[in-house]
Structure 1
Amino acid sequence: MEPQLSHRITDSVATVVIRHPAKRNAMTAAMWRALPPLLERFASDPGVRALVLTGEGGTFCAGADITTLRESPQQAQQLSVAAEEALAAFPKPSLAAVRGHCVGGGAQLAAACDLRLAEEGAQFGVTPARLGLVYPASSTRRLASLVGPSAAKYLLFSAELIDAGRALRTGLVDEVLPEGELDKRVGDLTRILTARSQLTQAAAKEFANGRTDRDAHWAEQGRDNCDTMEGVAAFLERRQPHFTWSMTYPEGAGA
């Protein structure tokens, strides 16, 4: 099988699958390049309300294909950072579903998602110290924000792998599921996410990520918007709300 990012859309959830089984789903240069435009396509699709990133088979992603590092370490890092930043900037909820190894560039991608669910037996590692690479500044800051400076330093200094239990305790993952239960939990959670207000989610994501230049925009969106009226009406009528605000409307407005 050729290395590739396969994808599908089911029930408003876009799923991207990292496929490179010959090298434990390591990312090639072509795969890094393919991710940002794919995310842009999903971001502009009103039929997509959430994103799941996972790996083929029993491995999430073992990092960058080492041949790309041998050819041009600088270019390989530029490609991985561009893909990571595109994933972090994806305006809808994103979730990494992790089995097996989530190492190097794989850990970069998982950290750039909003949420991370892992199966028991998963292993995580941030490994540039094994290769003498300077980990990108943006990636280092994102990791430290996620797990705290001390845990980030342990991962970066040692390049050791940690198990899913330790990843849960440090905040690197949000939930650890028994073997065989990851897909069901991902399905249940994405059904919850896609039923909630995209307006709430989009504003919360920007606020949580530290963006401050659009506070006035979101304050304006929050006034007399369709989702608030629908949410209140549904609560009073004791029914499930049907939220209609969409990221694809002009200026991000759905009201």
Structure 2
Amino acid sequence: MDIRPIGVFDSGVGGLTVLKRLKEILPNEDYIYFGDTKRVPYGDKSQDEIKKYARQIINFMKEKNVKVIVIACNTTCASIDKNDYDEILFDVLEAGSKSASAVTRNKKIGVIATTRTIESKSYEKNIKSINKNIVVYGRACPEFVPLVESGLAESADAFDKAKEYLKDLNMKGIDTLILGCTHYPILLKAIESAVNKDTEIIDPAIRLSIEVKNYLENNDMLSTSTIGHTEYFVSSNKENFIKTAKMLLNEDINIVNRIDIEKY
């Protein structure tokens, strides 16, 4: 038994899609969620900047005495080496790679993600390590995160951008599409409207949540609480965060704490 909370962090509101899956599978756990709304998006930042951000956020999570940390940000996963940390870290990027490799039929996988994630080729490297015969096609979608953070996930602009970004991947004949940024499930309607109808869309958060549960079970770290509690923290802009969180999680979220993440 371990009643300490699970830490979850992202560059902004996107990681709430991971938190939602975790709470579905592990409803009795407490959570600490941090969204770096001051410095979002991460996709156009340098690797050194993202490494610095990750260290600050993980230091904050350590202060909160979390038992494991879920990196709900593909860009961060693509920019850091987990071996540099002593903490127990779960990686949304690895989970997505495993899920897509398991379901592809024609061995053509598309990945949509931030510019930093696509340039790192992290998904391609992970997938190739699982099955070298799979071909991976990446497409950076730099306008997606700002649309989500602005509350415009179901706007005409979002649907237009989805058609633009997915056109080339459709032409490549992919049968599987990884949502390589945790903001992108919020854009699911736009993405579904733009992708070929027989394409399997992979949300890495599903497998990731199962992996967290299995780890906690195997190490006797599950909480015995009757119902879990979540504390929310952001680095700025609480209003859009609260609005999106209520929509995604379908619960009232009235207390969001703003912190100075840079002091960590």
Same fold by TM-score, threshold 0.5 exceeded? no
TM-score, structure 1 normalization: 0.32
Which one scores higher on RCO, CA 8 angstroms, separation ≥ 6?
2
TM-score, structure 2 normalization: 0.31
